[in-house]
Amino acid sequence: MSSMPMRTRIFAAALRRVSTPVEEAKDFAKLRADRRKLQTSAIGRRVFGSLDKGAEVEEITWGKDRRALVYRPKNSIAPLPCVVNFHGGGWVQGNPEQSGWLASRVAVRNNVVVISPAYRLAPEDRFPAGVEDARDAVEWVAKNADDLGITPERIAVMGDSAGGNLAAVVSLLARDSGGPQIRAQVLIYPGVEMYDKWPSEFRNAEAPVLTSRNMNAFARLYLGEQYGTEDFRASPIRAESHANLPKTFILTAELDPLLDNGAHYRDALVAAGVPVRYAEYKGAIHGFMSLPGVSPPAKQALEDVVDFLAQAL
């Protein structure tokens, strides 16, 4: 891992000392609370980044009792395009707030509304609960376009890690059910395969933030008794067809066990005739787009996402 920036190395060493690996966790509510406490601490704000000063943020309730954060450029004039963004966390932890640095900047720089919905988490709510919430969130956004001040024909989905998995699955489901129309998908180090191990997982088995053992634990916690299912809603790379999906930007990190997940999904989409942009960020670790304070490649990746969405929307 010689290409890892020094500030990333320091962060990784500190994280190992203070965090509980998911495979050792017993109290998942506490695991999530500890994560949120870190995010809101003085150190956490430096690590996870601050919101763009040009954005205004509102918390709303969608569906029955789900919440979402809505980011808009200040003084914007509706209707605007919309990006529905799904947070990462292995379908077990995480929250919409952790994507604030990215979501607020995409909102301001692309002059769009970014909606980051919460979704049910495992092991309390196992697969396909997260998928159902992600699909329902996009459908709800499209149906409530007027109230949200968005253009329903100009919706993109975005997500990182487990959120990238959900974004990819939602695009497949929308294609198969005839809507809502999704113009583009941004998949940030997505997990697209639950079982097969590819070389990057062996090469980066003990990487910061996400290890091979973590990956196995997340998959088992998420799938529960359905572990072993070949349902494409769990592993979108296993879909019968990837044709007619929206134009796609896949971002991967050099030092991430999930690197090959993104590369293989790129290959599947390209083979199906989908327009794909792909980028691998040198020296980057898993989760780097939520860690701008300690991972320098995040800034270039942000510029690339903004550029892609400007063309796609």
256 flagged as catalytic: yes
- Token pair of 210 as six digits: 């996400």
In the 3-class helix/strand/coil scheme, how is 265-277 assigned residue by residue?
Answer: HHHHHHHCCCCEE
Q: Check: CB of residue 294 under 8 Å from CB of residue 47.
A: yes
Secondary structure of residue 210 in the 3-state scheme = coil
C-alpha span between 52 and 303 (Å, rounded): 14
DSSP readout, 144-206?
A: THHHHTEEEEEEEEEEETHHHHHHHHHHHHHHHHT-S---EEEEES----SS---HHHHHTTT
Q: Tokens 């939602």 — which residue?
A: 170
Exactly one of 200, 256, 290, 295 is catalytic; name it.
Answer: 256
The torsion angle over the Cα atoms of residues 221, 227, 230 and 231, rounded to 10 degrees, is: -50
- Token pair of 45 as six digits: 């704000």
Exactly one of 116, 133, 171, 286 is catalytic; name it.
Answer: 286
DSSP E strand stretches across the chain: 55-62, 66-73, 80-86, 113-117, 150-160, 184-188, 247-255, 276-285
Type of residue numbered 200: S
Exactly one of 104, 116, 161, 200 is catalytic; name it.
Answer: 161
Residues near 209 by Cβ (< 8 Å), separated by ≥ 6?
12, 15, 285, 286, 287, 291
286 flagged as catalytic: yes
Positions annotated as catalytic residues are: 161, 256, 286
